[in-house]
């Protein structure tokens, strides 16, 4: 695969179109609204450049056909030319961050933290390719992925969106993701979006949208490094981060967005703001727009208040508080990406190559997800070589997450915050369902109460976290950390209710340890499988288990777990995150006095 996607220079087409556009049309191109807040008629009336689905915002019955008819309606509206409106095709965007997981029946891949443990960059390209196929099946053009965050504090609720605490792994993946997703911008392409620029994974105390305090050299070395291969692979969009850097919000940061990203690194695609991200710059919405446009943002994800955005933007222009050349630069970038992507030549979404593709959620796609699951598992303990399990063994299966495809998939699956149980994740298998498929005699008891030494040779206990997303996954000991971090931020913070106050699983979900204890006290050896979006302090659970497997958020294919537990395949996964020894420890590889429970790179094999 070429590092540089070779593409035609569309500047003649872009300049011709740009010169025929009215101010209203230009502002419209720079606006991205949320689907629930805008009708196709409004897309035409306001010349809107893009519409998105926020996490869990799904049309109709949430089947590919529902998505296609929605995308079709928006697209047709954007293409209906008359004396006020030019035909400029709209871009539809979603968060397909681990498969096209918003949509029912999609193949759900492991979240990035699991893929980081695979340490297999080529696999990422295949996953991105299949994900693109399932996005195209729904008529969508653009995904807000890959997340190139280098998560440095496991308390951050988005740790699972990060491949690793080590920029080297994230860097080795980023171009493969872009290559797989953008597929040379041919007809199998979906536009990728590297996010969140910049320093999202470095916030103080791991507070989502918080403050990243670092020298520029540190920012460059840890957080920017993964962007370089993505930019070399010509990623067509970059999303600005909610966090601030040394007190200043990235959304208003001209140095970071214009001088570094656009000028020094030569990025010539679309810089998009995050969800209402400009709102945190100032209480005055006009001032927020002024700061962010002048910082270099080209397209504005102004989900709900898009009408006010357009009105305020007009006023700013008439007051000369935003220059026409900045607007033209932004629109030029948006049109260029639309041309490069071939959008002007594509038929309506319903008539595109992979529309309603029969491969959507297919066995073939799920095979790749299953492979990714088995490569992502990390074996942390295996006393007396209790693993691999033998098929004739009498197995008891227990634990809150044993029969829970929703928990396996985590956040950004069907709903923004994810779902629990099996009902809303269509297709695939829970770990229990996968075990049942191998051992028909296996028994299931969620809390382990039916454990019986005379009937069970071994127990598989699947424990861990419930689904969460973004700040609602944060772990915060108390509000003092917000005050400390918040005091460094010029602008507002959007602090959500956290997931818990401790990284220790026995405090977050004490019933998990109770289940293990119930079974272990009956003399039955326990194989523990942890479903979690980050390393957790599990000393007590580890101690009581004979074997312990970190399964991260494996997605829909629970059979990937049994493939390894039963020895069809050996473990391959190695920790891409250091595993803490106690709940107050936060260490990353390479730091002084590095002394985690399991170091970065750890992972046993049979």
Residues designated catalytic: 274, 470
Rounded to the nearest whole angstrom, what is the least distance from the CB of residue 187 to ligand BGC in the complex? 25
- The closest of 107, 44, 552, 69 to 359, measured between CA atoms, is 107
Residue 279 in the binding site for ligand BGC (CB under 6 A): no
Candidate list 72, 125, 154, 274; residue touching ligand BGC; CB under 6 A:
274
The answer to whether 165 and 578 have CB atoms below 8 angstroms apart is yes
Residues 6 or more apart whose Cβ sits within 8 Å of residue 114: 372, 373, 376, 551, 552, 553, 554, 555, 573
d(CA 299, CA 598): 43
Binding mask 222-261 for ligand BGC (x = CB under 6 A): ----------------------------------------
In which residue are the tokens 């250091």 written?
Answer: 578
Helix (H, G, I), strand (E, B) or coil at 81: coil
Binding mask 419-458 for ligand BGC (x = CB under 6 A): ----------------------------------------
Residue 95 in the binding site for ligand BGC (CB under 6 A): yes
Please give the angle made by the CA atoms of 590, 596 and 598, to the nearest 5 degrees. 105
Kindly tell me which of 55 and 467 has the beta carbon lying closer to ligand BGC.
55
Rounded to the nearest whole angstrom, what is the least distance from the CB of residue 95 to ligand BGC in the complex? 5
Question: Which residues are 396's β-sheet partners?
Answer: 443, 459
The two three-digit tokens of residue 164, written as one number = 């690793």
d(CA 31, CA 334): 11
d(CA 352, CA 463): 43
Residue 54 in the binding site for ligand BGC (CB under 6 A): yes
Helices 121-136 and 167-182: crossing angle in degrees, nearest 10, is 40
The answer to whether 433 and 371 have CB atoms below 8 angstroms apart is no
d(CA 146, CA 227): 10
Rounded to the nearest whole angstrom, what is the least distance from the CB of residue 178 to ligand BGC in the complex? 16
Kindly tell me which of 242 and 548 has the beta carbon lying closer to ligand BGC.
242
d(CA 525, CA 519): 8
Composition of the chain by helix, strand, coil, percent to 5: 40, 15, 45
Kindly tell me which of 232 and 472 has the beta carbon lying closer to ligand BGC.
472
Rounded to the nearest whole angstrom, what is the least distance from the CB of residue 86 to ligand BGC in the complex? 27
Kindly tell me which of 132 and 389 has the beta carbon lying closer to ligand BGC.
132
Count residues binding ligand BGC (CB under 6 A): 8
Residues 6 or more apart whose Cβ sits within 8 Å of residue 213: 204, 246, 488
Q: What is the DSSP string of 396-461?
A: EEESTTTT-HHHHH-SSBSBTT---SSTTS-SSB-HHHHHHHH-TT-EE-TTSTT--TTT-SEEEE
Binding mask 209-228 for ligand BGC (x = CB under 6 A): --------------------
Kindly tell me which of 116 and 277 has the beta carbon lying closer to ligand BGC.
277
Rounded to the nearest whole angstrom, what is the least distance from the CB of residue 584 to ligand BGC in the complex? 28
- The closest of 466, 496, 504, 465 to 479, measured between CA atoms, is 496
Residue 195 is given by DSSP the state: E
Residue 160 in the binding site for ligand BGC (CB under 6 A): no
Kindly tell me which of 195 and 534 has the beta carbon lying closer to ligand BGC.
195
Kindly tell me which of 195 and 509 has the beta carbon lying closer to ligand BGC.
195
Binding mask 99-138 for ligand BGC (x = CB under 6 A): ----------------------------------------
* Residue 595, Cβ density class (10 Å: 0-12 exposed, 13-18 middle, ≥19 buried): exposed
Residue 144 in the binding site for ligand BGC (CB under 6 A): yes
- For 506-513, which contacts have Cβ atoms below 8 Å and span 24 or more sequence positions? 506/537, 506/538, 506/540, 506/541, 507/583, 508/465, 508/536, 509/400, 509/463, 509/464, 509/465, 511/400, 511/447, 512/399, 512/400, 512/461, 512/463, 512/464, 512/541, 513/540, 513/541, 513/544
d(CA 583, CA 139): 45
Kindly tell me which of 494 and 517 has the beta carbon lying closer to ligand BGC.
494
- The closest of 345, 385, 561 to 460, measured between CA atoms, is 561
Rounded to the nearest whole angstrom, what is the least distance from the CB of residue 201 to ligand BGC in the complex? 12
CB-based closest residue to ligand BGC: 144
Candidate list 75, 275, 548, 571; residue touching ligand BGC; CB under 6 A:
275
Rounded to the nearest whole angstrom, what is the least distance from the CB of residue 513 to ligand BGC in the complex? 33
3-state secondary structure 232-294: HCCCCEEEECCCEECCEEHHHCHHHHHHHHHHHCCCCCEEECCCCHHHHCCCCHHHHHHHHHH
Rounded to the nearest whole angstrom, what is the least distance from the CB of residue 334 to ligand BGC in the complex? 17
Kindly tell me which of 146 and 349 has the beta carbon lying closer to ligand BGC.
146
Kindly tell me which of 54 and 473 has the beta carbon lying closer to ligand BGC.
54
Please confirm whether the linkage preceding 207 is cis (ω < 30° from 0): no
Kindly tell me which of 275 and 341 has the beta carbon lying closer to ligand BGC.
275
Rounded to the nearest whole angstrom, what is the least distance from the CB of residue 80 to ligand BGC in the complex? 27
Question: Which residues are 249's β-sheet partners?
Answer: 244
Rounded to the nearest whole angstrom, what is the least distance from the CB of residue 195 to ligand BGC in the complex? 6
Rounded to the nearest whole angstrom, what is the least distance from the CB of residue 228 to ligand BGC in the complex? 21
Residue 195 in the binding site for ligand BGC (CB under 6 A): yes
Catalog residues that contact ligand BGC under the rule CB under 6 A: 54-55, 95, 144, 195, 274-275, 470
């Amino acid at each position: 695969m070429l590092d540089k996607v070779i593409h035609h220079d569309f500047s003649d087409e872009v300049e011709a179109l740009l010169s025929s556009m009215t101010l209203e049309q230009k502002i419209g191109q720079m606006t991205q609204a949320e689907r629930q807040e805008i009708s196709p008629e409004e897309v035409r009336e306001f010349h809107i450049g893009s519409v998105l689905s926020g996490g869990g915002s799904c049309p109709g019955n949430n089947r590919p056909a529902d998505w296609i008819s929605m995308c079709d309606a928006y697209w047709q509206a954007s293409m209906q030319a008359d004396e006020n409106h030019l035909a400029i095709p709209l871009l539809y965007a979603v968060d397909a961050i681990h498969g096209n997981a918003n949509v029912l029946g999609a193949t759900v891949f492991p979240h990035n933290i699991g893929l980081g443990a695979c340490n297999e960059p080529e696999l990422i390209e295949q996953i991105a390719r299949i994900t693109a196929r399932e996005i195209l099946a729904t008529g969508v053009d653009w995904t807000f992925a890959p997340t190139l965050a280098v998560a440095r504090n496991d308390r951050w609720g988005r740790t699972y969106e990060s491949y690793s605490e080590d920029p080297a792994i994230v860097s080795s993946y980023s171009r493969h993701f872009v290559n797989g997703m953008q597929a040379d911008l041919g007809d199998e392409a979906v536009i990728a979006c590297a996010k969140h620029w910049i320093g999202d994974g470095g916030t103080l105390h791991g507070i989502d949208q918080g403050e990243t305090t670092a020298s520029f050299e540190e920012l460059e070395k840890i957080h920017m490094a993964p962007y370089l291969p993505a930019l070399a692979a010509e990623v067509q969009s970059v999303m600005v981060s909610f966090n601030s850097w040394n007190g200043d919000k990235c959304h208003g940061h001209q140095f970071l967005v214009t001088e570094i990203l656009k000028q020094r690194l030569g990025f010539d695609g679309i810089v998009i703001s995050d969800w209402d991200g400009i709102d945190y710059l100032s209480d005055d919405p006009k001032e927020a727009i002024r700061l962010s446009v002048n910082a270099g943002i080209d397209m504005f994800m102004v989900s709900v208040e898009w009408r006010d955005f357009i009105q305020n933007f007009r006023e700013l222009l008439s007051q000369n508080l935003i220059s026409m050349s900045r607007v033209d630069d932004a629109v030029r970038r948006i049109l260029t990406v639309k041309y490069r992507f071939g959008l002007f030549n594509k038929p309506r979404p319903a008539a595109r190559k992979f529309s309603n593709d029969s491969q959507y959620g297919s066995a073939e796609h799920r095979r790749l997800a299953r492979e990714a699951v088995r490569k992502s598992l990390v074996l942390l303990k295996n006393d007396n070589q209790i693993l691999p399990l033998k098929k004739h063994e009498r197995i008891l299966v227990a634990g809150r997450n044993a029969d829970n495809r929703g928990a396996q998939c985590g956040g950004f699956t069907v709903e923004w915050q994810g779902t629990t149980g099996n009902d809303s994740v269509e297709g695939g298998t829970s770990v229990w369902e996968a075990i049942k498929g191998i051992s028909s005699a296996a028994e299931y008891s969620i809390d382990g109460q039916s454990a019986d030494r005379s009937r069970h040779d071994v127990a598989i206990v699947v424990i861990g976290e419930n689904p969460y997303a973004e700040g609602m996954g944060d772990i915060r000991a108390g509000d003092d950390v917000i005050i400390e971090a918040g005091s460094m931020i010029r602008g507002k913070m959007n602090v959500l209710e956290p997931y818990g106050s401790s990284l220790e699983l026995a405090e977050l979900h004490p019933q998990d340890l109770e289940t293990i204890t119930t079974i272990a006290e009956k003399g039955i050896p326990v194989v523990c499988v942890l479903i979690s979006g980050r390393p957790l302090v599990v000393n007590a659970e580890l101690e009581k288990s004979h074997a312990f497997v970190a399964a991260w958020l494996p997605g829909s294919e629970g059979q990937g777990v049994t493939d390894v537990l039963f020895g069809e395949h050996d473990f391959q996964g190695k920790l891409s995150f250091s595993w803490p020894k106690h709940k107050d420890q936060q260490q990353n590889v390479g730091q002084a006095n590095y002394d985690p429970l399991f170091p970065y790179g750890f992972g046993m094999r049979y």
